[in-house]
């Protein structure tokens, strides 16, 4: 097993994990906001057990990566990710992104992965593309006031905010009959609080206002779009259902009643579906 850091061209230390046989096909995992590569523990162990190489990094300002002041935008996210994969010389990789990580995957594949010939397939899970905020060209988006509210909650009391989100809508624990896991809530809080407040604050703009329509149109590799229809964080109609129409070779798989954090709450269903797509 390898856990290490690389330094980007603008001098930022990015933490990454690289586990499994180096000659195996790489499964590359991109985490959501405001978490870290630890959010992929279940999937990393699953793919390791199935003989794959698994790679995941902490986004700048998140997890164990450096808490820098600048560069908290989708372009830097994708460039940082690319720096890790170029360092490891990954090829024929399957890139899987959750939420903000799905935006990172779209930008990375379009700008770096495909031109460099490193990507075999991509998966967008509960992902933010094409754009979350409501605009004239995206009338089904969420009002900017929603994201202003997130910024205010973070600035006012980040520690409490990072308990409220996983306790409520992120995992659907606010739904009647939900099976609540205190460990999952505390692990979300732990990951969030390790990261930097400035990176997380500015990351809200990155995941909500970045228009990734052109990124999606550029992607030619097979893309699996996975989304729960009870996603309270990234509603499916303005995300997954639109994204699959923009990519050239996409498949949408809808999970009835599943929440935003379905990779954790329903890993027993999601993981085999991911594996089936990888093997296609």
Catalytic residues: 99, 231, 260
- Residue 72 preceded by cis peptide, ω within 30: no
CA 87 vs CA 16, 35, 206, 220, 232: distances in Å: 11, 23, 25, 24, 37
Q: Find out whether 42 and 181 touch, Cβ atoms under 8 Å.
A: no
Cβ partners under 8 Å of residue 77, min gap 6: 59, 60, 100, 103, 104, 107, 108, 206
Q: Which long-range contacts (CB under 8 A, 24 or more apart) does 40-45 make?
A: 40/263, 42/263, 42/264, 42/267, 42/271, 43/96, 43/263, 43/267, 43/271, 43/274, 44/17, 44/19
Q: Find out whether 84 and 15 touch, Cβ atoms under 8 Å.
A: no
Residue 213, burial from CB neighbour count under 10 angstroms (0-12, 13-18, 19+) = middle
Residue (of 253, 261, 252) closest to 231 by Cα position: 261
Other C-beta atoms closer than 10 Å to the C-beta of 66 total 18
Distance CA 277, CA 280 (A): 5
């Amino acid at each position: 097993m390898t856990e290490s850091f690389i330094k980007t061209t603008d001098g930022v230390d990015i933490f990454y994990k690289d586990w499994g046989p180096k000659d195996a096909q790489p499964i590359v995992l991109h985490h959501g906001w405001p978490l870290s590569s630890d959010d992929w523990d279940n999937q990393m162990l699953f793919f390791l057990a199935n003989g794959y190489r698994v790679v995941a990094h902490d986004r700048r300002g998140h997890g164990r990566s450096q808490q820098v002041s600048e560069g908290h935008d989708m372009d830097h996210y994708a460039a940082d990710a690319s720096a890790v994969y170029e360092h490891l010389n990954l090829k024929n990789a399957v890139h899987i992104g959750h939420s903000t990580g799905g935006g990172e995957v779209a930008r990375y594949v379009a700008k770096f992965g495909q031109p460099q010939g490193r990507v075999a397939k991509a998966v967008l899970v509960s992902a933010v593309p094409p754009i979350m905020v409501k605009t004239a060209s995206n009338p089904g988006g969420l009002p900017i006031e929603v994201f202003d509210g997130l910024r205010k909650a973070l600035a006012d009391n980040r520690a409490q905010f990072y308990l409220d989100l996983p306790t409520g809508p992120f995992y659907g624990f606010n739904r009647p009959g939900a099976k609540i896991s205190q460990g999952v809530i505390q692990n979300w809080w732990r990951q969030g609080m390790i990261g930097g407040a400035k990176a997380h604050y500015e990351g809200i703009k990155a995941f909500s206002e970045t228009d990734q329509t052109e990124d999606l149109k550029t992607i030619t590799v097979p893309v699996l779009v996975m989304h729960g229809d009870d996603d309270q964080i990234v509603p499916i109609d303005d995300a997954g259902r639109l994204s699959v129409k923009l990519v050239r070779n996409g498949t949408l798989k809808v999970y009835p009643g599943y929440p935003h954090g379905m990779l954790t709450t329903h890993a027993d269903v999601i993981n085999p579906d991911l594996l089936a797509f990888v093997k296609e």
